[in-house]
Every structure is written in C-alpha cells, then in structure tokens.
Structure 1
Amino acid sequence: MKNINKFYPHLFALVGFIIVSLIYFYPVLQGKKIYQSDIVQYTGMAKEQNDFRKATGEEPYWTNSAFGGMPTYQMGANYPHNYIKKLDSLLRFLPRPADYLFLYFIGFYILMYVLRVSPLKAFIGALAFGFSTYLIIILGVGHNAKAHAIAYMPMVVAGVLLVFKKRYIAGGLLTMVAAALEINANHFQMTYYLLLLLLVLGIYYVVQIVKAKEYKHLGILSAVFAGAALLAVGVNATGLMATAEYTDFSIRGKSELTINPDGTPNTTDSAMEYEYITEYSYGIAESFNLIAPRLFGGGAREDVGKNSVMYEFISDIGANPQEAKEFVKTVPTYWGEQPIVEAPAYIGAIVFFFALVALFIDNRKIKYAFLAGAILSLLLSWGKNLPALTNFFIDYVPLYDKFRAVSSIQVILELCFPVLAIMGLQTFFKSDKTEQLKALKLAGGTALGIIILLFFSMSMFSFVGMHDEQLREMYGDIGPAFVEALQEQRKDMYTGDLIRSGLLILAAAGILWAYIKNKLSAMWATVVVGLLMVGDLYMIDRNYVNNDDFVSAREMDAPFQATEADQFILEDTTYYRVYEPQGRLQARTSYFHNSVGGYSAVRPQRMDQLFNYLVDPRVNAVLNTINPETMEIGKPFPVLNLLNIKYMILQAGEGQNVPIINPYANGPAWFVNSVKPVTTADEELKSLEKLDSWNVAVINKKDYPEAVQKTSYPADSTATITLKEHKPNYLKYSTDNDNEGLAVFSEMYYTNGWKSYIDGKEMPHFRANFVLRAMKVPAGKHTIEFKFEPEVVKTGSNIALMSSIGMILLITGGIYMAVRKPQVGKQE
C-alpha cells in the first residue's frame, strides 16, 4: 500500500495538467479550433497530398501543387513502421493545441522528478515552464512542430541526468525514448539547440568524472548514450534520411551560384545568406523583456486598452468610444530590432527572482551548467548584434548555418531558468534561517536593482520603432502626432511593466520573509508563491493567445475559398501551372492549383533562385504586355513558358483576383531541336533569360556529359509527346517521332527517387533548363513513365522496423531488471 500511495501525488499532477491544459484552451471542448496562421499555410501546401492519401490509401511522397513539385518529406509524410509516431499520438491525446501544452507540463515535471524536487514544487515549475510566453505564442501562430520539439526537451535532459547519476537502466531507457520522440517531432532546429545544451551539461559532468577518476563510469555512460542515440535515430531513420537527402536540394543547401540576384558576387560559404540567418536577432537591451514583458512595446499588435495614451489620442481627434476601443486593440507598439514580433519572450519576473535564489543558496554545482546553457542561449540569440560569436558559429560549428531566426535559441534559456527557479524554491525551504535570509536579501536586491537600473536608464532609449516613418507617412496630416503619441505609449508601457515586475518580485520576497518569520507555513508559502509565479505568466499569455483566437473547425479545415479567378482557371482541365506574383510565398494558390509558389522554410533552392533572379524582378514587364480585352500576355516569356505557367493570378482593386492567360506556355512536354551546353550553374540560369525554350534546351555538360554528346536533333513538326495520365507520384506520356528526339518535361528535376521508363524499361533522365527533366527518346511510338519510388523510404523503413524491435526488447528487459533489482541514484 505504501508503494501505491507514493504514486498518488504524481497522478494528481497528471490530472492537474490535463485540467489546466483544457481550461486554458477550453474552446476546444466546444469543437472549435485555434486559428493558426502557419497551419492554414500548411493546409494549403498539403491539400493535394492529403486528398491523394484519402482517395487511394497510398502515400505519394511528392506534390505538384507547390514550387512546381517537391518531396513531401517536410509536409507530414507518413512512413511505414513509424511506431514512435504512434507512441507520440498516444501521449498527445488531448485536442490541439491543449495536447502540446500538456506535453510541456509533463516533460518538465519528469525533469523536476529527476532533480529530486517535491511533487508540489515540480507541479508549479511545470506550469511556469509551460506558460512561458514564447511557448504559448508559438501555439497561437501555428509553430506546432517547434512546440512539439520543445515539449520533449526536458524529458531528454531528464534521461541524460539520470545516466550521469549512474541510473544507467532508467536513464538510458528514458533518454532513448525521449530522444526518439524529440527527433520524431521533426523540428531539427530545436533539436539542434537541445544538443548544444546537452553539450554544456556533458562538459560539466565529464569534468567532474575525470576529476574523480571514474573512468569506468565514463565508459559505461558513453556506451549507454551511444546505444540510446543509435536506437532513437534508428526508429526515426526514414524521416532523418529523407530530410538529409532533400536538404541539399532545398534552400538550406549550399548554392552553386556565384552571383546574387543583383549581379554582385556571392561570397558566402554558408548554406544560407548571413542576412537571412540573422534577420531575427534579439536586441541586447531587448533581452530585458525576459523579466519585464513590454519594455520594448510587447508585440507588433498590442491591445493597450481604454486607459492608454493611444485611446486618449484617437478620441481627441474625433473617434467615438466604440471606434477608439477597436483601434487600441491592434496598436503597433513594438520598437525592438526584429522585423516583427508577435509577443515578448517573457519568462516571468518571479521565475527570474527564484533563479537568482538558486544561484545564492543551492549548493548543487549543476546549477552552473544550467546557467551556462542559459547564457550561451542568450548570447547566440543576439545574432548580428554580437557578430563575433555569431560569425564563429556560422563559420565553424557544424550545421549552425542551416537554421535561421537565431532569436529562437532562447528556448534553451526558457528551459534553464525555470529549472533554476524551482531548484531555488526547493533548496530555500530546506535551508536554515540564516541562509534563507541571506539568499533572500541577495536575490531580492539583485532583481530589484536591475529593475531600478532599467527605470533610471529610460532616458537612454529613443522608443523609435523601425516602422515609425512608414506610419508617419501612412497617417498623412496626423502622422507626426500619431507617432508622437505612439512613442509616449511605449514609454508608458516601459515604466508600467517595470513597476509591475518590481511589485511581483517584492510580493514573492515578502512571502518568503513571512515564512522566515514563521508567519506562513512552508506549504502555504509555496502555494502562494506558485500562484503568483504562474498567475503572472498566465495573465501575460492571455494578452496574446485567448478565446478570441478560436474559430469553427470548418474554418480551419477549409481555410481558403475559391475566388472567381480560381473558378475560371479550374474550368480548364488540362495540365498546367499557376503563378500568383503577389502571393508566391503563400500557400493559397497551392490549395487550388499546381502552383510555382508555396509556403515552406525548406523550399527547393533552384526553383527559388529561378524566381528571385529571373521572374519576380521582371513581373512588371510581363504585366505591361497584357491585352485588356483578352486578358492574355502579349508576348512570350521564356521562364513562364518552360514551367508551363498557363495562368497568372493578379490582385486588382480591393483584393479582387484576376486571371491572366499565358497562351505561350509550352505544355507538359515537348521535343527540342538543339542543346546548348554550359559548364556552370550561373550559365544555366543566365541562359534562360532569352531562351527559345520550345526549340532549345540548356544542359550542364559538366554534370551530364552523356546528355550533350549530341547537340542537334532533326526538326519534325509532326512529332508529338502527350501527357496521358498524371498523379503526384506518377506521370505517363505517349510519344510519336520519326527520329530520335530530346524531350523536355515541365516537371521539376529531383536527383533521388524519380525513375523514368520507356516501354517499361528503366532509362536515364537528366536535368535541363536549370530545374526541369529531360531524356532522349528513340524514334517511333513509345510510352514514357515517371514514377516516384524513393529508395530512402524503403531503406529507412527497414531500419526503423529493426530499431523499433530493439527498443521494445530493451524496454522489456529494463523493466524486468528494474523490478528484480531496483537502482539507487545519488543526490547531486
């Protein structure tokens, strides 16, 4: 009975997490869904894939609806034997996004348990971690994969700590399963940042082990980690291998071009341009948002309320109360250095205060490892504002240049500070009165000192936002007065939030002082402090993600409605592509058509370059040729034609879409008369600008020497090549040509997976015109087929199956051994 009773607190915590998750997102109980902008875009991108899966029961692994064609590896593809995904689905049993909030809580609770924190304090810590503002806002905008990966971070750390504590079986199994779930979340940037934290923790422990000369322990833990990592990677082999294969094809791979779109030399060696990687760099002073949320204006669209400078301003210039109330709901108060921010990355003033308590009172040296992880995270989040460190990581740290939005590395800090805070809370109540009072004075003095220093440093800041000049112009005659009022609003928010954070810290310190003076019991002091800590974060979170963000399930399941332009285009049942210049990097077009655009952080690199260099800069030249009577393009444009772009969608008037016809589109496939050999990617791209794509194909002879052995083919006006059948992963053509010909297909060339057949016999194809496929076709009548049969899926699935079996055997054996001989860990 005693052994059963010790599980009750954990059961209560589990139930509590479920209840809190559902309360925060209670509209899910009404069947509603949160409106997530990124998920809306994903729905557009994945529609063809999902429709095909639903209709056939097959997985296509390729979509034609985005960027002319690309693998679906980063679009929710389902792989055989992905059993870790099934386990993840069991853990995420709550309606979305309550499921991710629940994962935040449960993962951090497990980490607290490993750190020997009592259930009540672990429960409070889990809530504080889960309600960290950044973790909530990413759920609001739809960064689900990011939230998913962050949620498993604490669990991975917990497993690693257990192994270092010589809990080899429990730690090894937890590390293995948690790491497998972490990888399965499929946000490699977050996983990469987690590895940086684990590296810091590992250095700390290895130094301790070497000092103690525990080389046997070092050998055992190395073997445990290697085995856990091998199986965690193995069960996710298909996704990892597919992603690795696709990376070089995407914008995350290194460019072959030596020029930029403006003609200047491309001198970077990184996978992405420095400006792109560091575009979202946290301002150094802006980092104080971590302890006072709206020092730099909060988010880009703040609700400043009725008792605000902006409400008074808009009322004074004639707005009625209802108009003023609506206006102040979306005020552009953010004035930091990032292009746009939805909400500040606020970890909580009381969380920060208790982290300081830990530094002053907790004797466990592991606190310094978590502090080091937090500091490294903060420094790297500054990006271009700390170029020496950022450049070093981009140039010398493997894979760091594969990721952008460096500010998001603060998720490590947002994990480490709650850990330190709860360590401080736990140790405080275990210490004697003298130590408690000393720690209280030092932590309180430091925290309040920072608040006071920021208060008196106010005159050092300009409160000028990067978009203020645009706002001044946009509001015309009242523009100067509007911006002046806006800057006063920012000052008001700055002082108001400093006072708020200062009062919260004073309140928390006051509760601890009352406990020291025996005016409160330890339990009540913990409960009250916990309520303040979590309540602080909860109230800030509700400013950015609340019930107003929920819509009917139907609105999220079908977020796009066909316009008259879409309906006009859809009447054409032939095979073609659509280009929407004003929305090329959005997924609306992909929802209805085969688009040359889309929404993806890993879009195909060459397709992206084609538009950045040759198409987007020349759109106006295309538009100037439109015949207003027929709404047709007036002259051929090579790139549009070879991509089989038969329609363009333009925005006119008040958001009205207009279909434009390109009568010169080459169609699905055609025979050319000659080949233009080139030797570099630069030449491939430049050659397309004025190419007669109907008669000439550009081929890189360095990459495909066999394809340019013959450079001319007999012109035959009677030769035909006709598309007979098309699916996302299958294309079938019939050809009739009296002579050998070179056929070009308006399909994206992808090195791995696509196989080509002539009359059932596999034949080679190669890249032409920078992005397309081409192949030599013998004289006569033939059937050509393209099938997407990625070997990486077959190989990866076999590895995943074997690794899953190994994982199950290890878990079974581990449980058996733990039951026979329970392990005893040691305190830090």
Structure 2
Amino acid sequence: MKQNWLKAILPHLAAIGIFILLAAVYCAPALEGKIVNQSDMMNVEGMAKEAKDFYEKTGEHPLWTNSMFAGMPTYVVYTGPGANKVAYMNRVATLFLPAPINMLFMAMISMYLLLCILDFKYWIRIMGAIAFAFCSYNVVLINFGHVTKMWDIALMPAVLAGIILAFRGRYIIGAAVTALATAMLIYNNHLQMIYYTLIMVLCLAVGAFVHALQTKTLPQFFKASVVLVIAAVLASLPSMENLLITREYTDYTMRGGKSELTLDDTGKVQKKSTGLDIDYAFDWSYGTLESFTMLIPGFVGNSSGEKLNTGSHVYEQMVSLGAPPAQAEQMMEQMKFPMYYGAQARGTSGTVYVGAIICFLFVLSLLLVKSWHKWWLLVVTVIGFVLAWGKNFGIINNFLFYHLPLYNKFRAPAQALVLPSLTFVVLAAWALQEVASGKHTKQELLLKLKNAVYITGGLLLVVGVFGSMFLNFSGHSDASMLQYFAQMMGGEENAKLMIRALEKDRSSLLLKDSIRSLVFVAIAAGTIWAFITDKLKWQTAAIIITVAVTIDLVQVDKNYLNNESFVEETTFMTQLAPSQADLQIKQDPDPYYRVFNVTTSPFDDATPSYFHKNIGGYSPAKLWIYQDLITHQIAKNNMKVLNMLNTKYFIVPDQQSRQPVAQRNPDAYGNAWFVKGIQWAPDANTEMKTLDYMNTRDSAVIDKRFQAQLSNFTPVADSAANIKLTQYSLNSLQYASNNTHDGLGVFSEIYYPAGWSAYIDGKPADIIRADYALRAIKIPAGQHKIDMKFEPKTFFLGMKISGISSTLLLILVAVALIWEIIAQRKKAA
C-alpha cells in the first residue's frame, strides 16, 4: 500500500520540482532578494502610502485617503489586513516562493491540475503547464506590476478542473477544488479576469448539459450543478469584506456609476451607460489581423518601445544621413523605438504570444479531437477573440457593451485574449494526447499531421514572406516620431527617410519571426512524425516537444522580463525620492492642504501622492463626480475650483532647468469656510456650468434636490465668521466654527454619501452636496464643534462575514480532501 502510494505521488512531486526549477531559473534574481522594477507598482506605492502610514500608526483600518483626487475611499488601494483567511492560500499554494516565481509556479501547477483531471499523459501535462504560464502576456503583466491580474489568470485552470471533476460525478472533491480555487480567484480581486472566468464556466456548463442530454446522464449533471452552486456561494462569502463594499462603492465610480451630466466638455449630448464611456472602455482594442501575434510574436512589431541594434535599417539610414557611427550607435543603446504598428492607438507593452508549436498543435486538435470538451473550448476561443477586438469589431461589441450584463464596467478589451491563451494550450495538449492514445491509425495521424502542417506553415509563409505586399507597416506613433526625427536629422525629408527605415525594420522583424515560428513548427511536426513512424518512443518525443515549447516561449519572454528587470528593493524605492519642490512643500507645518503636480501626467500618476495630499493621482475607479470636475473645470485651469479644493501648492517645471519647483497659491480657501449665499441649480448641467463663473469663496451652487433639507434657509456670514480644522485623521475630521448667524459651511472635502456622517456638538447633521463635488453643512449661530466621521457599515459587516465564512470554507475543504484520500485508499484496496 505504502509503495503504491509513493509510486503514485512521486511523478507529481517531480513535476512540482520541474516547475519550481524553471520559474526560479527564469527569475533567478528574485532568489537574491531582488524585485521586479514594476512601473505600476510605483503608482501602488504612491496610492497606498498615506493609508499604510495611518494603519501602522493607529492600528485602525484606513477607509479614506486624501492623497489622491482630493479624497476617495481606500477600498481599491489599501484598507489594512483583512479578515479573509483565504488570503494565506496564495503563499501556501506556492510553497512560500518569492515573487514573481510564485505567480509562474501557480500558473503551472494550476494548468497541471487541469490536465491531470483530463487524464492526459505525464509529459503532456508538463508541456501544457509550461506553455500556459510562459505565455508572453503573463510575463508582460508581471513586468509592469499587474499582480492581481496575473494571480487570477494563474487560477483559471484550477477553477475549471474542479468543475469538470464535479460534472464527472466526483461531487465532494470537485466542489472542494472549485470552492477553494474560486475563493482564491475572488480574493485576488481582478474583476475583469473573474468576469472572463465566469464566461468560461458558463460555456463549460452549457457543454456539459448538452453532453449529459446526449448520454442520458442529466440527473448527474443536475446534482453536480447544485453542488457547484453551493461551492460558488461558499467561495464568494470569504471575500464579502471586499465584494460588499466594492459593490457599494462602484455605484459612485466611473466603473459602475453614471455621471449626472448629460453634456460632454464640448456641449454635445452624449450617450450614457451605467459604466464606462464606450470610447474610454474600448481603449486597447486588439486588431483582427493583430490576433496573428498568437503565432508570430513580431507580427505587429512587439511593443511600443524597443531597442534596435547597429544592424537595423534605422541605424544604417541615420549613418547614411551623416550621423557619426559612434553617435548613431549610442542612440541605438539609449533610445527605444516604436516598433509596434498594430491597431491599439495607445500602444502596447508587449505582444500576446502563445507559441508557434502551441498554435500548430491547436490546429491539429481541430482535426483530431472528438471529445465534447472541444466544442465549448472553441466557443470560449471565439468569444475571447471577438471581445478582444473591441471597437475593431463594433458590429458585435458595441451591442454587447450596452446589453451584456456588467460588460461596460471594464476597459482594455485586449485582455480578453487570456481566454484563447488558455484554450489554445488545453486543445494543443489534447492534440498530443490523441496522437499518443492509439485511437487513430498511422495513416489517419499522418494525414491529419500533414494537413495541420499545410495550414500552419502556409499561414506563416503567406504572412512572413508575402506580408510586406499587403500589410501596412505604419504605426499610430509615426507622426510624433516624424517630428522627432525632423529635429534630430535636420528636416522633414530626412525624417521621412527615417520613418521608412523604421517601417523596413518592422517588415524585417515580421519576416524573421515568421521564419522562427516556422522552424519551431517544423521541429514539433518532425518529432510527431518520428513518433508516428516508430522512429522515436513517446517519452522521447514528448520531452523534445516540451523542451522546444519552453525554448520558444522563454526566448520571446526575455524581451519583456529578464535579469535587467530586477533591482534591489532599495534601488526601487530611490525612484520615489522627493524632489527639491517636494522637500520645500513638506516644510509647511499645516497638516492638511493639497498639491497639484503638473510636471507629470497628473491624473495618470500616483507618485506625487507618496509625498502629498494630491489633486491628481491614479486609480482604476475614480469617483465620477471628481472625474466630471477634472473634465469640466480642473482641465480648464479654473482657479476658483482649484482654490475651493484647497490647492495650496503647485509643482511646475522651472522655465530654465525644467526641474520641478514649488509655487505657493495664496488664494487657496483652506479646509472650510462660510459662504454668503446659495445659487440653486435645477440640474447637474447647470450646477457644473455655474462653476465656470461663480465666486466659490462667497457663494455655493447647490442642486435643488437638497432644497428640502435646507428649507428656506438663507446663509449669513459676517467678516469674522470662520471654520478651522482642529483634528485631522483619515477616518475622521474635527472642526471648530464661529459665526454670529446661522450659516452654511462649505468643506473642502469630496462628497461621498456612502459612509460619511456629520455631527454638530455630538448631534447628527445633514451633509449636503455643494459646488458639484464638495460637502456643505448648515451650522447654527455661535461656537460649535463639528465632527465628520467615515463609518461605512457595509465594510464592517463584510469583515464579519469574511472572518467566519473563510474559516468554515478552509475547514470544509480540508475535510473534503481527507474524505477523498480515504475513499481512494478504500478503492485501491
């Protein structure tokens, strides 16, 4: 019994060892304590700095931050340690490996589990696991710090594995795997990846239903479905601390809320949805032909910034136009050129390449595989491509944007390519399984292999060799490059020659990568042919293909994540070193004012938030009232609006040195003030337009919906009336007011009704929205203490649910695993 148990588990332990070794070798600097120099993590550091400092100092959960967009909830930033015990499973499941080794390992072990459940041969499982993890899109995500997205992609196969187990009648272990994998997926909380996983699950369920109908096993299907629904509920409960508060918050953000304005910044009527604007949401739409990057990494030029060498056409053209070779060589070493010429107008950080061998095997699977799984996998593949094309396939995607539930909450359609990236691997592995299974005759296999070679090889030859005849190698960035080259090379005519040289380099890259893919296809096809004709044993053939797949993908991946991508943690943090302007501003003893840094892209950069309470910032879920304020007022440099936001300092580039310098704004209104009058607005458009000209220091514009709360109140403010901030905290603010009359206090705080409460001398007071985005309170005459507290009940309810349910879930999963082990031992006996 013991010997059989060891014999069964040793191959899995060997596979785990292979995965750890491969991920560790690829990310070797991580073993030395280095971290990936992730650009997006710079934003994360800036976003979370104030909240983390608050938690370390007080031990309280930071639920609000003033370090971005003049104030917003911290739900998508940092709220401190949660109650969800599933959080520990990321580390446990990856054997406490360092990042990013752990993410690649998770992807491999997750796909390995799925291929085990599908009962594929050993080396096929390993090949598929490696192919899935090292898809180029994954390493691009790791390189740029899209950590939660990568974790959720890695977990997708494990979710499918549990569901397939349940549909096979192994209800208990199937439910346990599904519940745990789904709970981890939801905990990591990349909602767009969760959405795509749900699409796959629905396709799998439909496929399983059709199969059950055909095989007359509907009772088993319905039992499994009930069990899986229970597992899904159990998986969702541990993340309620996040799900409940995110659901509440989403209604007030660009992602799920709806601006009350019906006019855009040009005065035109715009179509509204309860989600993102369609043009904004469809940024980074993949081109239809661009999908060939799955087969040819350089099909549209890889990325928007790549280094060229001295063998490039750009270098040769530069020298031919008179540039000294040494200067041109230095330019090649220092500058990155926009090789990308695909459909994504904003460019891209890297290609989505699943591997030439995987694509070839995918085509072979279409010819060989007969299983019902093939059809739902193909449906998922088609859905992934269609969604990824976004505005480039508007005939379908425009309809889906307005009608498919929740679809309009997400942007960057190209991310949907995670679906075919998974299905290609599974079907590629299935093709090898069919070849090795003995189900097909030698003649049939050779015929199907030949056809797959003709299809894949033919595409590569047509695209690679003849692509220059029908493809356009000009890119979206060429206009700006033309201006750059004109300044550098002495005129527009020379600049046009440089652009043509750049286009030749793009064409050359396409030819080179097409030939490269053709070579890998030939290796795989030749190896399979050798196995079919009994010239190679199966294990040898499988190892050759696995090694070839690994080399193919890793070679491409190294363009995006390599040893140079890693830095010491101290080096990473030095990138957040304060400028002289930051140091100058920090000398101000005032605890609470705001800074507007215009030396960066202020609304796409959170690094200034590392030092200051920021007018700008970076967040995937800004409050829509603030986005409206940005679009209609801040972007137009309305100083009265910036003053009401207490913008005490501007950071601007020095005219001579171009270094950041601080400029104090003496007209900033401070934290709060009494106004002398109210202008009532019949609607949001009028309220916003009134800010164009109104003196926000003396008056407040308020939507008439709040008129009942203020009754016929007319505010009065004498010359000595004032409101002073006496205590500052993230979750609470305290003020002292003094006025000889009943007055209306306007507070330089962003209006957010889902949690903020006000108290005057301990008694509740209404918070009213004023000036479109700020808070206002009716304050009686005399001296008063005013408290504002952020007390979102939804958050604390979610914490309680998460703590209890996550503990229960882990116990149930452990019991299910023990049950399965006992059952398997009894079966073996």
Per the normalisation by structure 2, the TM-score is 0.94
Per-residue displacement from partner, 1:535-577 (whole Å, max 9, x unpaired)? Answer: 1010011112111111220132453121121122111121211
Task: Identify if the C-alpha distance between structure 1 residues 325 and 442 changes in structure 2 by more than 3 Å, giving closer, same or farther.
Answer: farther
Select the residue among 510, 519, 528 that pairs with 2:535: 519
Q: Within the alignment, does 1:152 sit opposite 2:155 as a pair?
A: yes
CA distance in 1, matches of 2:722, 2:475: 60
Aligned-residue offset at 1:464: 1.0
CA distance in 1, matches of 2:559, 2:143: 11
Q: Within the alignment, does 1:444 sit opposite 2:448 as a pair?
A: no
What is the aligned partner in structure 1 of residue 557 from structure 2?
A: 541
Q: State how 1:489-528 maps to structure 2 within 5 Å.
A: 489-528=505-544
Mean Cα displacement is larger for which, 797-806 or 419-428?
Answer: 797-806
Query: Does structure 1 retain, via aligned residues, the 8 Å contact 2:121–2:433?
Result: yes
The residue type paired with residue 336 of structure 2 is T
Aligned-residue offset at 1:334: 0.9
Per-residue displacement from partner, 1:294-329 (whole Å, max 9, x unpaired)? Answer: 021111122343433233333434343575265166
Mean Cα displacement is larger for which, 404-413 or 509-518?
Answer: 509-518
Per-residue displacement from partner, 1:579-609 (whole Å, max 9, x unpaired)? Answer: 1234312112211110011011111211121
SS at match of 1:762: strand
Select the residue among 583, 598, 612 that pairs with 1:593: 612
Query: Does structure 2 retain, via aligned residues, the 8 Å contact 1:437–1:516?
Result: yes
The residue type paired with residue 464 of structure 1 is S
CA distance in 1, matches of 2:496, 2:811: 70
Select the residue among 92, 99, 102 that pairs with 1:99: 102
Q: Within the alignment, does 1:459 sit opposite 2:469 as a pair?
A: yes
Mean Cα displacement is larger for which, 467-476 or 46-55?
Answer: 467-476
Select the residue among 186, 189, 192 that pairs with 1:183: 186
Select the residue among 284, 288, 304 that pairs with 1:284: 288
The residue type paired with residue 559 of structure 1 is Q
Q: Within the alignment, does 1:747 sit opposite 2:749 as a pair?
A: yes
Mean Cα displacement is larger for which, 395-404 or 454-463?
Answer: 454-463
Aligned-residue offset at 1:734: 1.2
Mean Cα displacement is larger for which, 397-406 or 716-725?
Answer: 716-725
CA distance in 2, matches of 1:685, 1:519: 77
Q: State how 1:82-97 maps to structure 2 within 5 Å.
A: 82-92=84-94, 93-97=96-100
The residue type paired with residue 113 of structure 2 is I
Per-residue displacement from partner, 1:231-258 (whole Å, max 9, x unpaired)? Answer: 1110100101111111121111222110
Aligned-residue offset at 1:800: 1.4
Select the residue among 621, 639, 653 that pairs with 1:602: 621
Q: State how 1:722-733 maps to structure 2 within 5 Å.
A: 722-733=724-735
Aligned-residue offset at 1:664: 1.2
What is the aligned partner in structure 2 of residue 701 from structure 1?
A: 704
Q: State how 1:755-794 maps to structure 2 within 5 Å.
A: 755-794=757-796
The residue type paired with residue 589 of structure 2 is T
Q: State how 1:197-208 maps to structure 2 within 5 Å.
A: 197-208=200-211
The residue type paired with residue 664 of structure 1 is D
Task: Identify if the C-alpha distance between structure 1 residues 654 and 137 changes in structure 2 by more than 3 Å, giving closer, same or farther.
Answer: farther
Select the residue among 582, 600, 608 that pairs with 1:566: 582
The residue type paired with residue 450 of structure 1 is L
Mean Cα displacement is larger for which, 6-15 or 555-564?
Answer: 555-564
Q: State how 1:305-704 maps to structure 2 within 5 Å.
A: 305-316=309-320, 317-321=322-326, 323-324=328-329, 327=332, 330-338=336-344, 339-431=346-438, 432-454=441-463, 455-476=465-486, 477=491, 478-574=494-590, 575-581=592-598, 582-585=600-603, 586-618=605-637, 637-652=639-654, 653-702=656-705, 704=706
Query: Does structure 2 retain, via aligned residues, the 8 Å contact 1:646–1:663?
Result: yes
CA distance in 2, matches of 1:655, 1:31: 36
Mean Cα displacement is larger for which, 46-55 or 810-819?
Answer: 810-819
Query: Does structure 2 retain, via aligned residues, the 8 Å contact 1:305–1:325?
Result: no
CA distance in 2, matches of 1:612, 1:283: 29
Aligned-residue offset at 1:104: 1.1
Per-residue displacement from partner, 1:248-286 (whole Å, max 9, x unpaired)? Answer: 211112221100011111123352221111121111111
SS at match of 2:633: helix
CA distance in 1, matches of 2:607, 2:353: 33
Query: Does structure 1 retain, via aligned residues, the 8 Å contact 2:364–2:428?
Result: yes
Aligned-residue offset at 1:150: 0.7
Query: Does structure 2 retain, via aligned residues, the 8 Å contact 1:62–1:729?
Result: yes
- RMSD of aligned C-alpha atoms? 1.9
SS at match of 1:55: helix
SS at match of 2:783: strand
Per-residue displacement from partner, 1:713-765 (whole Å, max 9, x unpaired)? Answer: 22322222110110111211112222222111101111112222222233321
Query: Does structure 2 retain, via aligned residues, the 8 Å contact 1:167–1:824?
Result: no
Aligned-residue offset at 1:816: 4.5
Identity of aligned residues (%): 34
Per-residue displacement from partner, 1:404-463 (whole Å, max 9, x unpaired)? Answer: 100110011111101111111122111342332122112111111211232334311121
The residue type paired with residue 339 of structure 2 is T
The residue type paired with residue 482 of structure 1 is M
Query: Does structure 2 retain, via aligned residues, the 8 Å contact 1:674–1:711?
Result: no
Mean Cα displacement is larger for which, 302-311 or 111-120?
Answer: 302-311
Task: Identify if the C-alpha distance between structure 1 residues 341 and 80 changes in structure 2 by more than 3 Å, giving closer, same or farther.
Answer: closer
CA distance in 1, matches of 2:6, 2:447: 40
Task: Identify if the C-alpha distance between structure 1 residues 69 and 453 changes in structure 2 by more than 3 Å, giving closer, same or farther.
Answer: same
What is the aligned partner in structure 2 of residue 261 from structure 1?
A: 265
Per-residue displacement from partner, 1:128-186 (whole Å, max 9, x unpaired)? Answer: 11110011111111111111111111111111111111111111111111111001111
Query: Does structure 2 retain, via aligned residues, the 8 Å contact 1:291–1:349?
Result: yes
The residue type paired with residue 35 of structure 1 is N
Gaps of 5+ in 2: none
The residue type paired with residue 364 of structure 1 is S
CA distance in 1, matches of 2:37, 2:117: 36
Query: Does structure 2 retain, via aligned residues, the 8 Å contact 1:35–1:140?
Result: yes
Q: Within the alignment, does 1:222 sit opposite 2:225 as a pair?
A: yes
What is the aligned partner in structure 1 of residue 251 from structure 2?
A: 248
CA distance in 1, matches of 2:552, 2:687: 58
CA distance in 1, matches of 2:658, 2:215: 70
Task: Identify if the C-alpha distance between structure 1 residues 444 and 256 changes in structure 2 by more than 3 Å, giving closer, same or farther.
Answer: same
CA distance in 1, matches of 2:140, 2:601: 25
CA distance in 1, matches of 2:448, 2:793: 60
CA distance in 2, matches of 1:791, 1:667: 30
CA distance in 2, matches of 1:211, 1:616: 61
Per-residue displacement from partner, 1:366-389 (whole Å, max 9, x unpaired)? Answer: 112112211110111111111111
The residue type paired with residue 792 of structure 2 is P
Aligned-residue offset at 1:677: 1.7
What is the aligned partner in structure 1 of residue 125 from structure 2?
A: 122
